[in-house]
Each structure stands twice: as C-alpha cells, then as structure tokens.
Amino acid sequence: MRYRCSHLADSLECLLLERAFCSYSIKMAGPQGNNMPNSEQELRRIAGEIEACTRCPLSRTRTRPVPGEGPPNAQVMFVGEGPGRNEDIEGRPFVGRAGDLLNELLASIRLNRESVYVTNIVKCRPITASQPVERQSHEAKDRRPTSEEIDACTPYLERQIDLIQPKVICTLGDTATRFILERYKLKAGNISKMHGRICSAGNLKIVPMYHPAAALYTAQLKATMQRDFRKLAGLLEQTTLG
C-alpha cells in the first residue's frame, strides 16, 4: 500500500474544478461496498455503546453523547474534534453555527448533508474547569480533548470507519487531522500547512480542512475553506464517480 500527500497542481486543479461543477451529480451512497443492513445494525450498536459509555471523565459532564450520523454506506466522512454546546444539548454533530457553515459548504459543492457521515474524534463534549455539573452546559467553554480522552474514545471512531469504509475522509481541524493521518501512517503537520492536500492511504483519500468553527469569525479562513471544498468536489469527481 502506498501512502502520500500532495497538493493538486494549480492548472490541473482549475481544469478539474471546471469539470466538477459542469458535470457534478453525486451519487454519494450506493448499494455497492459494505453490507448495508449489517453495517446499519452495527452502527446502531456502537451508538448504543456510546450512549452508555463511561470510559473517560467526559461521561460525567456531558448532557448527551454525540455518536455521529449519516448513511452506513456514505462515501464521504467528515470527522471533527468533539461536540460543542449545541451538539451536547441535541446529541447530534455539527448543529450550531459551525454546523450551518458546514452545511453551506456542502451545498456549495452540491453535496447533501444527508449523504455524508459526520462524526467526531471524541463523542462527548470536552469542557473547561470544574463547575457544578448543573451549570456546566451553559457556562463551560469548549476545549481540546486530552490525549487520554482521545485514546479512550477513538476505538468507536475506528469501528465506524471500518464499517462505513468511506472513499474520502475529510478531517476538520488539527486534532482530527493528526489522529486520522497518523492512523494511516501518514505524516501529520499543522493544519495551516496540511489543509487542502489530498492524502492517499491505499484507495482511501484523506482531505484535511480547517474546522468550520475557526472560519466563523474570519472571512479569510472561510474563503480558504470554500477553496478546499472545491478541491474536494474535484476529487469526488475523480474518485467516487470515476
């Protein structure tokens, strides 16, 4: 198996993007690939395990765990860092303003949110400080998950990936990018250097991107994400439709 990361050459990229937008008609989830009824059942089983999970201290401060959502045969998976306040309340990934931006970016390349699988590295909200539990969901601030929390939780993500067998994994933000690239024995770097690259691990493509939450207040980052999503569109044109 050959592993590599590369930027699309600019001229080739323009050509591919033109083609992508002219002929783009994604069939994101098809009958081929994994055994869907079994995968669906198994994904539900994993979600049930997550609901009851007490493997790490985040179980004590969560409102609801957030296993992830999407079709069991999704060809594209988005992996973020962890649930935030809105996700913790609703038990669904990317439902706040960052989720709105993700939906907008997906729509910009004609991808339905319902056709992709969306999840996180850790399934319960990492928060700062040790306020009384009943006040935490309103007053606590989000933080990065610790390495212990990541170690405790990522077996769930790995099982989800193995079941879904996506063709493309888009990592959102530094933490998700590092974990996924290292899982596939690829060299990980800072997201400011890695974003927009197309990394190959056998047949799987990995596309690191900024986390939408980071782009909410910075127009420049949002423009960067829009460009990276257009690269994703070009990649999907080649890999999922080719």
Q: Which residues bind ligand SF4 (CB under 6 A)?
A: 50, 53-56, 58-59, 65, 122-124, 149, 152-153
3-state class of 69 per DSSP? strand
Collect contacts of 197-200 with beta carbons under 8 A, ≥24 apart.
Answer: 197/5, 197/6, 197/7, 198/5, 198/6, 198/7, 198/8, 198/231, 198/235, 199/3, 199/4, 199/5, 199/6, 200/2, 200/3, 200/4, 200/5
Q: What is the closest distance, in whole angstroms, from the C-beta atom of residue 122 to ligand SF4 in the complex?
A: 4
What are the C-alpha distances in Å from 228 to residues 13, 19, 85, 99? 11, 16, 26, 17
- CB-based burial of residue 191 (10 Å sphere; 0-12 exposed, 13-18 middle, 19+ buried)? buried
Q: Is-contact 127 142, C-beta < 8 A?
A: yes
Which of 56/235 has CB closer to ligand SF4?
56
Which of 70/196 has CB closer to ligand SF4?
70
Which of 65/93 has CB closer to ligand SF4?
65
Which of 123/231 has CB closer to ligand SF4?
123
Q: What is the closest distance, in whole angstroms, from the C-beta atom of residue 50 to ligand SF4 in the complex?
A: 5
Which of 54/147 has CB closer to ligand SF4?
54
Which of 69/237 has CB closer to ligand SF4?
69
Q: What is the closest distance, in whole angstroms, from the C-beta atom of residue 152 to ligand SF4 in the complex?
A: 4
